[in-house]
Chains A and B, each alone.
Chain A
């Protein structure tokens, strides 16, 4: 009897926390369809803010910047990170403590310190040599820096899950290093590489702080644009673009759920 009451109150608590987690997002989605310019009362359903989005050039530029930054940095990080992951695995018998520390550094560093130290560094170099001023290039460099560890760890953990004799087998069969890479390493790594690319891309799109401090005035990404719009005074357009971004996350969540279900069966 008593146990039942405890269980019920836990369930109730679960739903309260769910409301806490989803209410802020739901409010954004709800008011994005508001025909009035307000986040306090709902005047009627309308798509006018979405219509405004399509004609907002600054916003489309920001979308373009986000995609260019995300794709370029992820591809670079994929190459560099995969090499580290492979090196870590092949030489795991050695003492690689220094390498592990170095790889965890970008992950544990508070992003404000990360972003500001790079900004200060790049600005000083720019003053001395006239290169690396705040631009898309410095943003790409910064993003690759925090993406490398995640790629390396994903690739490394994939290798650890493999039968070590496979490497010997490939060697025994006189496969050249190139053939080993082409016919053994890359095919076995393919799912991990795809996962690493998408994780890197997600991290890049999700990042605000590091981009913010390394961006030039023309390199606003979507989060930077939204930040600026909030600072200038809220426009319901922000609700609309935020709703689209929340929608993208929900789609990703559903895909990941379906993907996991499929793996279990």
Chain B
């Protein structure tokens, strides 16, 4: 019995499978095939492109090389230049900075919501989340309006001598950091709030009774209890921040480019697919590496139990 080729290997043998297995395959097959064909295959293709040679018209060609990666490290036709490496490091730095600042803002915010009267909490959480429901292009545009030359914020910065006269606060690295914080704050507040809501205050009071300073009480009694929420929030903020495209493109300009912009420019204007694909591969590795690391830490924290983030 010859069957047409199926992208789903088990389905080819379904004749000999139990009805139960066949039922499973029928119900999940359309979705599995869809995701495999339209996401897994394209990703594998992109990973393949990263190891190919850049053709004369920006098309990937054989033979396989590591050229794209050495270009990413700065080795080009004109010798070594640090541009791409700076972009990589800048992405990393912006991600760390924005995640750190988001944590600093989200902690007091989540705590403030958790001590509010119960009927207000849902409304307060909604108030934090609603701006992130608007399109990210519009959100970045809002900041362009606020930071452009002549606005009160830009004039304030000029008054303090932070920027020159007739300049705006964007495009700049500062604007990118601000945009990242703005985009990802809710993703930190929600899991931290969930942790604060379950917080056992008896521990905090015990620490205070034993004359721990407020800071020490926070560190010993509050912080460990909110750590799972903090970890979940860190994953939800740092991974998409590292791959951010819209914010650095609109608020950053050339000198504040991040990895996402480098990747995109190689597929559009620059037309060096292998270089772009190599950047995308770094992003994928960072994503899965980050998820894996957080899973390991989460497991250790909860004493070996599975933590679903």
Binding site for B on A (CB under 8 A): 7, 10-11, 13-14, 17-18, 20-25, 27-28, 31, 39-40, 79-81, 83-84, 86-88, 90-91, 94, 99, 102-103, 105-106, 108-114, 116-122, 124, 141-142, 144-145, 148, 152, 202, 205-206, 208-209, 213, 222-223, 226-227, 230, 234, 238, 242, 245-246, 249-250, 252-253, 256-257, 260
CB distance from A262 to the nearest CB of B (A): 13
Residue contact B27 to A28, C-beta cutoff 8 Å = no
Instruction: Name which of B38, B45, B137, B277 has the most chain A CB atoms within 10 A of its CB.
Output: B137
What are the residues of chain B within 8 A of A242 when measuring CB–CB?
134, 138, 141-142
Provide the main secondary structure of the chain B interface.
helix
Residue contacts A-B, CB under 8 angstroms, 30 given: A14-B112, A14-B124, A17-B105, A20-B182, A23-B142, A24-B142, A83-B27, A83-B28, A90-B27, A91-B23, A94-B24, A102-B36, A105-B39, A108-B291, A110-B243, A111-B240, A112-B243, A117-B280, A120-B46, A124-B45, A141-B38, A206-B135, A223-B135, A242-B134, A242-B138, A245-B134, A245-B138, A246-B138, A250-B130, A253-B130
B109 at interface by CB-CB < 8 Å: yes
**Chain A residue at minimum C-beta to C-beta distance from B153:** A23
Residue contact B35 to A119, C-beta cutoff 8 Å = no
CA distance A10 to B214 in the complex (A): 15
What are the residues of chain B within 8 A of A227 when measuring CB–CB?
137
B203 at interface by CB-CB < 8 Å: no
Number of chain B interface residues as a range: 35 or more
CB distance from B108 to the nearest CB of A (A): 5
CA distance A260 to B129 in the complex (A): 15
**Chain B residue at minimum C-beta to C-beta distance from A208:** B137
CA distance A226 to B140 in the complex (A): 11
**Chain A residue at minimum C-beta to C-beta distance from B135:** A223
B32 at interface by CB-CB < 8 Å: yes
Residue contact A260 to B122, C-beta cutoff 8 Å = yes
